[in-house]
Structure 1
């Protein structure tokens, strides 16, 4: 056991977060996301929401402050201007938790998938809300 580490973060996930370098991406994905086929390294947090996972991860991982869009979500198919409730929740968590809060940017569905394939890791959560996927770019600790 360690202090001040959110208990929902598994040892494998903690190792991945520590092993990531500046500029590496990590995906927090919902239960519908094709994590096994998309991720180089798949980490599972079944039964945990994407929002709880985001809050726990951002407590440890700095967002990149050298890029314009360090947090990316998937656009709603056929309605790219829609903001699903979970995306609004992601923004609230980033505003409250991130060391460098940033506005969530959007990627078209297949562009999101291509970016996810290149990510350091995919965290597959038990999130059941649609569009509960976000890519974070790791920053540096000053």
Structure 2
């Protein structure tokens, strides 16, 4: 049995198969997910699990080089945006329109759907490398 880190076998598998610049998405319960992208559905009910707790768990297991969020998050979900910026630390954050973020979702290795029910609670994480 795995002792630490993410226990969800689908997420753990995706993270272990990712290479430099591969992307995954963590999203709220409303983001449309393209049929061709692997869906990892964690949503149990509205709010569970939250976007923030899911992001925190993934960041604990993944080297992230860059993140992409919707520019609309600043106005429509400022509290969560501040939390995301804090959690990402020095990681570069790119802001694009929500429509562009939805398009970019089609390039992801997987989308992790949470129970989050607040607007624009979506992020694309681009894998970095763990060596120099």
* Structure 2 unmatched runs, 5+: none
- Report the TM-score, using the length of structure 1 for normalisation: 0.81
Rate the CA distance shift 1:49–1:81 in 2: closer, same or farther, 3 A. closer
Q: Does 1:111 align with 2:112?
A: no
| 1:25-44 pair list within 5 angstroms | 25-35=23-33, 37=34, 40-44=37-41
Decide whether the 8 Å contact of 2:6 with 2:12 is kept in 1: no
Q: Does 1:2 align with 2:11?
A: no
Decide whether the 8 Å contact of 2:74 with 2:81 is kept in 1: no
Q: How many angstroms apart in 2 are the aligned matches of 1:124 and 1:113?
A: 13
More strand by share: 2
Q: How many angstroms apart in 2 are the aligned matches of 1:56 and 1:39?
A: 25
What displacement does 1:60 show? 0.8
Rate the CA distance shift 1:17–1:140 in 2: closer, same or farther, 3 A. same
Rate the CA distance shift 1:81–1:54 in 2: closer, same or farther, 3 A. closer
Structure 1 consecutive aligned stretches of length 4 or more whose deviation exceeds 6 Å: none
Equivalent position SS for 2:64: coil
User: What residue in structure 2 maps to residue 20 of structure 1?
Assistant: 18
Alignment RMSD: 1.8
Equivalent position SS for 1:118: coil
